[in-house]
Amino acid sequence: MKYKNNIAIFISGKGSNMRELIKKSLYCSAKIKLIFANKNCYGLQVAKKYDIPIYFYESKNFYSKFQFEKKILKLLEKHNVNWIFLAGFMYIFSNFIIKKFKGKIINIHPSLLPNYKGLNTHYRVLKDKQKYHGVTIHLITEKIDEGPIILQAKTKINSNENENSLSQKVLKIEHLLYPSVMVSIVNGYLKIFNDKISWINKSCLPKEGKNNIICIK
């Protein structure tokens, strides 16, 4: 079977979002062509359970960032990849990769962007005594965590919430939302062109609230 939507998943950690994407891909016209890791992470062990090519390269073993990304590009071209899903991938792409895959690199971030860019979002949200926390799925651009937003979901922070309980709550939302966005893309429900987001149909998503933010209890 020939697929139009060939996907690469990039990881650096436990691989739980990767696992959910793979599971959902079995029920739509998406083909996960490869798993790429830039760290010797637990996600590599998870990936071995699936019949998908796995690649592990560390940037420190390359002469330059350009050489590292050139190697990545060759892998993507070899497998005819046309979508990249970052699932906890701790690396900042240069414009070399971003321009090659403009509007085709998708990331999931544990906060309601543009608030709380970067790391340690759960700790920072609790420290600031915010009422809500959440997840943003967005396109990757040259500026970190500033790409066009595809979808967001928020959840209320309980009075007895701690960093661990909040991170687990947000992770459950990630597992729900990220595969749904992948399915929306491959089914043609979500169109992305030149960094422009256009939703045709949101039938496979949870109920939407105001301003394209899904509210999840």
User: In this structure, what are the phi and psi dihedrals at residue 85, rounded to the nearest 5 degrees?
Assistant: -110, 120
The DSSP code for 204 is T
68: nearest Cα among 77, 57, 79: 57
- Annotated catalytic residue 175: no
145: Cβ contacts below 8 Å, ≥ 6 apart:
107, 109, 113, 114, 117, 118, 138
CB 156 within 8 A of CB 131: yes
Q: Which two tokens stand for residue 39?
A: 């760290």
Which residue among the candidates 109, 122, 133, 175 is catalytic per the annotation? Answer: 109
CA distances from 204 to 75, 166, 188, 207 (A): 31, 25, 12, 9
Residues carrying an active site annotation: 109
